[in-house]
Structure 1
Amino acid sequence: MNKTYQVAANKEIVQLMNLGHVKQRELESKLGADLMRAVHLRRLHISSSANVRLEDLPFRQFDYSIVSGACCENVIGYVPLPTGIAGPLIVNGRRYFIPLATTEGALVASTNRGCRAVTESGGAIVFVYKDAMTRAPVVQLESAAKVLELKRWLEDATNFEELKRAFDATSQ
Structure 2
Amino acid sequence: MTDPEDLVERVRDGELRLHELEDHADHDTAAEARRLLLERETATELEAIGDYAFPAETAEPNIENMIGAAQVPMGVVGPVPVSGGAATGDHYLPLATTEGALLASVNRGLGVIRSAGGADARVTKNGMTRAPVFRVAGVAEAAETVEWVDENTEALAEAAESTTSHGELIDVEPYVVGDSVYLRFAYDTKDAMGMNMATIATGEACEIVEAETPADLVALSGNLCSDKKPAAINAVEGRGRSVTADAVIPGELVEERLHTTPEAIAEANTRKNLTGSAKAGSLGFNAHAANVVAAAFLATGQDEAQVVEAANAITTMDARENEGGTTDLYASVSLASLEVGTVGGGTKLPTQAEALEVLGLRGGGDPPGSNADALAEIIAVGALAGELSLLGALSSRHLASAHEDLGR
The bucket for the TM-score relative to the shorter chain is 0.5 to 0.7
Shift of 1:118: 3.1
Question: Quick one: structure 1 residues 57 and 110, their matched pair in 2 at CA, closer, same or farther if it must change by over 3 Å?
Answer: same
Q: Which amino acid aligns with 1:13?
A: L
Which aligned pairs between 1:22-171 and structure 2 lie closer than 5 A? 22-31=16-25, 34-48=26-40, 50-63=41-54, 64-70=56-62, 72-91=63-82, 92=84, 93-121=88-116, 122-132=118-128, 135-136=231-232, 137-138=283-284, 140=314
Higher relative contact order (CA 8 A, sep 6+): 2
Q: Which amino acid aligns with 1:40?
A: E
Question: Quick one: structure 1 residues 87 and 35, their matched pair in 2 at CA, closer, same or farther if it must change by over 3 Å?
Answer: same
Q: Which amino acid aligns with 2:102?
A: L
Q: Based on CA coordinates, which of the two structures has the bigger radius of gyration?
A: 1
Q: Which amino acid aligns with 1:118?
A: I
CA distance in 2, matches of 1:114, 1:131: 30
Number of residues of Structure 1 aligned to a counterpart in Structure 2: 134
Moved more, 120-129 or 84-93: 120-129
Deviations 1:69-109 (A, max 9, x none): 22x22121223232221111333223221122223221111
Aligned to 1:12: 6
CA distance in 2, matches of 1:53, 1:46: 7
% of aligned pairs identical? Answer: 26
Deviations 1:2-24 (A, max 9, x none): xxxxx443322211111222111
Q: Which amino acid aligns with 2:93?
A: I
CA distance in 2, matches of 1:120, 1:46: 52
Aligned to 1:159: none
Runs of at least 4 residues off by over 4 Å:
131-134
CA distance in 2, matches of 1:66, 1:129: 33
CA distance in 2, matches of 1:29, 1:113: 50
Question: Quick one: structure 1 residues 90 and 30, their matched pair in 2 at CA, closer, same or farther if it must change by over 3 Å?
Answer: farther
Aligned to 1:3: none
Q: Which amino acid aligns with 2:32?
A: H
Deviations 1:119-148 (A, max 9, x none): 3333222215134555223464769xxx8x
Structure 1: segments with no counterpart, 5+ residues: 1-6, 148-172
Structure 2 contact 10–16 (Cα < 8 Å) conserved: yes
Shift of 1:25: 1.3
Aligned to 2:250: none
CA distance in 2, matches of 1:113, 1:40: 43
Structure 2: segments with no counterpart, 5+ residues: 129-226, 233-282, 286-313, 317-329, 335-408
Give TM-score scaled by structure 2 length. 0.29
Structure 1 contact 118–124 (Cα < 8 Å) conserved: no
